[in-house]
Copies of this chain bind each other. A is one copy, B any other.
């Protein structure tokens, strides 16, 4: 749209790429705008041309993730509310998680910073929408909590778990997380 035929990488995207790297590494609040600007050979004030605030940079990460989750939920809304639909929802969400690992890690590590953002609640809101497709409001507490665990299992292993061994591949970790997640949802159907 604003791209010329030469297509150099736009400054806006360069900022996003550098920012998520530094935010993930050092935390959102510990990463200064000066630091980001220096990595890019810009000045602090130059960032303010491309983004209204520092928070806006962080919020811009969510858009693609939120869109992907919305696609899943829209699909889920049109399906029968049975076990197979729920298993397929978990499969699809696992794929989304896999394609947004840096963003997931950033969101998991900076929850306090994100609750301050208007668009920061995107993460929680999308999880809540998925949860409502996985379990009915009138099911027992144990089932509702188990549905929540089924969702968090899919990303918390990738982000917070430190028991990974050298022989564990990414593929194996995703499959293991999905298997555990599935078994939690299966248990809900038996209860």
Interface residues of A (CB under 8 A from B): 26-30, 108-113, 115-116, 124, 128, 131, 135, 137, 141-142, 144-149, 152-153, 156-157, 160-163, 165, 168, 172-173, 176-177, 179-180, 183-184, 187
A153: B residues at CB distance < 8 A = 149
A135 → B minimal CB distance (Å): 8
Q: Verify B146–A180 contact, CB threshold 8 A.
A: yes
Known contacts: A112-B109, A152-B152, A183-B187. The answer to whether A141 contacts B29 by CB under 8 A is: no
The distance in angstroms between the C-alpha atoms of A162 and B109, with both chains bound, is: 18
A75 → B minimal CB distance (Å): 21
Q: List 11 A-B contacts (CB under 8 A).
A: A27-B113, A28-B112, A29-B29, A30-B112, A128-B162, A141-B172, A142-B176, A145-B177, A145-B180, A148-B157, A149-B156
4 nearest CB pairs, A to B: A27-B112, A29-B29, A109-B112, A142-B176
Q: Verify B142–A180 contact, CB threshold 8 A.
A: yes
